[in-house]
Amino acid sequence: QSALTQPASVSGSPGQSITFSCTAASSDVGGYNYVSWYQQHPGKAPKLIIYDVNSRPSGVSNRFSGSKSGNTASLTISGLQAEDEAEYFCSSHTSASTLVLFGGGTILSVL
Amino acid sequence: EVQLVQSGAEVKKPGESLRISCKGSGYSFTTYWINWVRQMPGKGLEWMGRIDPVDSYTDYSPSFRGHVTISTDTSITTAYLQWGSLKASDTAMYYCTRQEKVGLTGTRWWFDPWGQGTLVTVSS
């Protein structure tokens, strides 16, 4: 069981906006602004889409945005497109000895 | 172009040893940590550990410490993940990924890019 909890799946229609949640079990994660999000298409390696809660790497669409409130981080995708269908993982630094936590992942279906 | 290129898929028997590799190119190899991440079939991502290529300092997740060894050869800008005795439960995809160092002791807590993955299958 991951210390970062994500819903197993979400779905949306093309053009909609959708938000994923990522909730930390411990408060130390909430104290860091080190949440990142990764997109993984089937059979492919993960790709960084958000870092430090709300920063986007060069080349990532501005339809992706991130935020955090307390121990819960969120990823929002606006203007859903078919190509957004993938699994999304959140990650955070933790002061625990494991140093890095990943969420269990959320599968996005674009209907 | 920054790239991490991993070695090919492996099929091994329980108890055998294995070393997989991850070659970095297009950047200063010693300026970034190399991390290893496991993804078991149909499951999520698990951070295994990381290495600083400058001095081979390593951090391991408690879940993997003692079962795997992470190393580097800076002369060929390559990192390795090694098992001394594989188990069937080691069957998974393994990814290497880069993590930027900041100053003397700081770290960026995000990973980019990722290697293409190495599938390890352990079966009798």
**pLDDT of res. A29:** 67
Sequence-separated (6 or more) residues with CB below 8 Å from residue B14: B85, B86, B87, B88, B122, B123, B124
Name which of A93, A97, A105 is nearest B44 (Cβ-Cβ).
Answer: A105
| C-beta separation of A36 from A51 below 8 A | yes
Residue B100 has pLDDT above 80, yes or no: yes
Residue A27 has pLDDT above 90, yes or no: no
- Asked whether the beta carbons of residue B44 and residue A103 sit closer than 8 angstroms, the reply is yes
Residue A109 has pLDDT above 80, yes or no: yes
CA distances from A85 to A13, A45, A98, B9, B119 (A): 11, 15, 30, 27, 23
| Percent of chain A residues topping a pLDDT of 90 | 81
E strands, chain B, are 3-6, 10-12, 18-25, 32-39, 45-52, 57-60, 68-73, 78-83, 92-102, 106-107, 118-122
Residue A28 has pLDDT above 70, yes or no: no
Contacts of B35 in chain A (CB under 8 A): 100
Q: Which of A75-79, A94-98, B15-19 has the lowest mean pLDDT?
A: A94-98
Q: Tell me the C-alpha distance between A91 and A4, whole Å.
A: 8
- Asked whether the beta carbons of residue A51 and residue B114 sit closer than 8 angstroms, the reply is no
CA nearest A36: which of A85, A86, A77, A90?
Answer: A90
A79-99: average pLDDT? 93
Mean pLDDT, rounded, of chain B: 96
B78-107: average pLDDT? 95
Distance from CA of A59 to the nearest CA of B (A): 13
CA B58 to chain centre: 11
